Structures are given as C-alpha cells and as structure tokens.
C-alpha cells in the first residue's frame, strides 16, 4: 500500500466512524470512504471483524489485499479547528501520536492552482508560511516516528 | 454494506510551530478549537511495515 502512495485509516469523529482509503495522485488525492456503524469496531477488536465495506472489497479485488492481512499499527489523534472564507475551508490541526505532537495549517480548495494561489495570498499576512515546509501526510509522519523509535530500541 | 462515497481533494498544507498555530487561532477564531477530536487508526499490510 505504501508503494501505491495509499493509506487506509479508520477515523472516529464525534459520532461517526469512517473507513477511508486515501490515494495520493499527481494532482490532489482520491478518497474512498465507507461510513461504518459506530459499534462495529474498536482497537481491541481484530481487523478481520470489520464489517463488509466497498473499500475493503475494492482493495481485495484491485490490489489483492485481504482484510485478514491488515495490521493495526497505532493511533494518531488530531484536534482540529476550522474556519471558512469565500476562498474555501481552512483547518488548523494539532496532532498527537507516539509521544510527540505537531501543528499544521491545511487549506482545501477547488484545484491545485487555486490552493497555491490562496496560500500565497495568506503568506502576505503570515510570511512564515513561505518559510515553513509542506508537511508530509499524517500517516507518513506516524510511520517515520514509529521507525525512528524502533531504531532507538 | 457500509454507506460509501468517493471524493477528489485538492489541499495545501504548511507545517506550523505551536506559536504560529496559536497566532492563527487567535486571529481567525476557528470553530471547535481543541474540542473536536478525531482518532486515526493506521492500517497496513504486515509486509509493507
């Protein structure tokens, strides 16, 4: 899955549980979502007990990845705050995982060029946005942290 | 079968320090600051770990 620039996650948000396969494309990201019944899975439950979902069928049929071959690696929690403007939606994320935390600003727009333009405009008010990196995806940051902790052991 | 939908997202991100994060929170007063908690459970194949 890593080689395909894809990640599979279950997100618990208020009273929703969503299974998402996110595939990073050259221009944007394609997301496949399945809303699961709230009580259908918990971290103590084997992943083989996940209910039937379109995403899981797709993974098995298209990539040959069966539900039984999935492994739960850990949890990343995000405190998210949002504001909207005429340009689109802004998200401020504070993420905590494996004994560390980080912060990021995310903007969702209508196209890649739109997103770049809006962030460039915002950087006129907040010049630090020009100096700061485009962070790697949360899942990758989680993996990198896990790997670095394993190397220290 | 679970309820399914698909979407294509265009997003841009910038890493922030805690101080920059607090500055944006103060100036834009976003909704649900630190009150909305999402938990992401990372799944992968044992072979790709």
Interchain CB distance below 8 Å, A74 and B41:
yes
- The answer to whether the CB of A109 falls within 8 A of the CB of A91 is no
Give the burial class of A128: count Cβ atoms within 10 A of its Cβ; 0-12 exposed, 13-18 middle, 19 or more buried. middle
Position B48 pLDDT exceeds 50: no
Nearest to A81 among B16, B31, B49 (CB): B31
Q: Which of B13, B37, B16, B49 is nearest to A143 (CA)?
A: B49
- The answer to whether the CB of A52 falls within 8 A of the CB of B2 is yes
Interface test with A, best of B1, B13, B45, B46 (most A CBs within 10 A): B13
A93: nearest CA in chain B?
Answer: B21
**Can you tell me the distance from the alpha carbon of B30 to that of B34, in angstroms, rounded to the nearest whole number?**
10
Nearest to A71 among B3, B33, B44 (CB): B44
pTM of the model: 0.85
Domains of chain A: 2-69 (no CATH), 76-151 (2.40.320.10)
pLDDT of residue A68: 86
Position A124 pLDDT exceeds 90: yes
A30: nearest CA in chain B?
Answer: B8
Query: A26-30, A57-61, A62-66, B23-27: which range is least confident on average?
Result: A26-30
pLDDT of residue A131: 85
pLDDT of residue B1: 65
């Amino acid at each position: 899955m890593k080689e395909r620039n894809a990640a599979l996650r279950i997100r618990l948000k208020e009273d929703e549980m969503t299974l998402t396969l996110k595939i990073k494309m050259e221009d944007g990201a394609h997301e496949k979502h399945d809303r699961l019944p709230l009580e259908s899975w918990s971290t103590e439950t084997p992943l083989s007990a996940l209910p039937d979902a379109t995403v899981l069928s797709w993974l098995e049929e298209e990539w040959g990845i069966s539900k039984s071959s999935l492994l739960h690696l850990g949890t990343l929690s995000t405190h998210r705050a949002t504001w909207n403007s005429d340009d689109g939606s802004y998200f401020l994320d504070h993420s905590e995982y494996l004994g560390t935390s980080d912060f990021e600003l995310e903007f969702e727009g209508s196209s890649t060029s739109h997103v770049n333009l809006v962030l460039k405009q915002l950087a006129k008010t907040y010049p630090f946005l020009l100096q700061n990196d485009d962070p790697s995806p949360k899942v990758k940051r989680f993996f990198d942290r896990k790997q670095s902790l394993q190397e220290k052991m | 079968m679970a309820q399914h939908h698909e979407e294509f997202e265009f997003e841009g991100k910038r890493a922030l320090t805690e101080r920059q994060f607090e500055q944006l929170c103060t100036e834009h007063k976003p909704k649900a600051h630190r009150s909305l908690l999402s938990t992401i459970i990372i799944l992968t194949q044992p072979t790709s770990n």
